[in-house]
Amino acid sequence: MESNNTSRSFSDKWHKNAQLAFKTTSDPQSEVFNWIVGRNGFKDEQGLVNYLSDKKRILDGGCGNGRVTALLRKYSNPETTEIVGIDLTAADVAQENLSDEKNVHFYSKNLLDNLEDLGKFDFIYCQEVLHHTGNALKGFENLVQILEPGGEIAIYVYKQKAPVREFVDDYIRDRIADLSYEEAIKHCDQLTELGKVLSELKLNIKVPAVDLLQIEAGEYDIQRFLYHFFAKLFWNDAYTFNENSVINYDWYHPIDCTRHTIEEVRDWFNQSGLVINHECVDHYGITVKGKKTDEK
């Protein structure tokens, strides 16, 4: 069951930052748009349009402020496709952000509860959410229950990272989880400032493999090298300083923050009678899409 800390983390995040990444998520010129579309196996916005063109009901499971709901609405047909967004803490924020959109509905729901009153969907998008529920597998299974036979579900969960990065992440999380949003953001501001300074160096380094630390040989920007293997010091020039800091807060404040392996996620799909048709594993997470072949 999602902890009170995690619910508070995301309620504060979205209610205090209702527009966070909202416009950029739907902008095909933005990095975040191309990250979402690319990791889900689409070459560009036309690929997404083609995929969504025959979908009748789409669920955005764990919609937050509705930024991906808006993306799904923009690239699907509002006359023929209904989009439903659910979120435990921010459905009201999403509703406000998409109040002018046609054929979009929002409900306050916990992914760990029975979701059958929502009806069936032929596409379910649930990304950057399941690892915050306290029971990612249970949340996934609940979503599969409302997937139409022949329908597809696409999920993204955090990947288990290098050992030093895992240690530092848990160390920071344990120390700020009980703090208020305002107090936690002060610590995240410091992490963000370090990420900014490292990014501004524009310094590439060649790194040898270090197997015990799960460091892969290669050439890295110094900020991304530390980000990948030692601590999440997020910085992106496309965002304001506060937006960058909120993204660091999003990672470090919620206690419910499980990390997974591709083998584990494949087992979820296989056990649920789904045929996997797309996988993407990067430094940060695991994206898997699969089709429901029967009533299981």
Q: What is the mean pLDDT of residues 61-86?
A: 98
Residue 22 has pLDDT above 70, yes or no: yes
- Contact by Cβ (8 Å): 101, 58: no
- pLDDT band per the 50, 70, 90 thresholds, residue 140: very high
Residue 296 has pLDDT above 60, yes or no: no
Domains of the chain, first to last:
4-160+259-292 (3.40.50.150), 163-252 (no CATH)
| The two structure tokens encoding residue 59 | 């669920």
Distance CA 33, CA 141 (A): 27
| The two structure tokens encoding residue 177 | 């989880």
Q: What is the mean pLDDT of residues 99-105?
A: 98
Q: What is the mean pLDDT of residues 128-151?
A: 98
* Per-residue confidence (pLDDT) for residue 227, from 0 to 100: 97
Tell me the residue type at 257.
Answer: C
- pLDDT band per the 50, 70, 90 thresholds, residue 2: low
- Reported as a single tens digit per residue, the pLDDT across 42-55 is 999 999 999 999 99
Distance CA 2, CA 113 (A): 11
Q: What is the mean pLDDT of residues 224-251?
A: 97
* Per-residue confidence (pLDDT) for residue 1, from 0 to 100: 53
Residue 242 has pLDDT above 60, yes or no: yes
**Whole-number mean pLDDT of the chain?**
97
- pLDDT band per the 50, 70, 90 thresholds, residue 267: very high
* Per-residue confidence (pLDDT) for residue 291, from 0 to 100: 98
Q: What is the mean pLDDT of residues 118-135?
A: 98
pTM of this structure:
0.96
* Per-residue confidence (pLDDT) for residue 13, from 0 to 100: 98
* Per-residue confidence (pLDDT) for residue 3, from 0 to 100: 76
- Reported as a single tens digit per residue, the pLDDT across 152-200 is 999 999 999 999 999 999 999 999 999 999 999 999 999 999 999 999 9
* Per-residue confidence (pLDDT) for residue 295, from 0 to 100: 57
Instruction: Enumerate the β-bridge partners of residue 107.
Output: 86
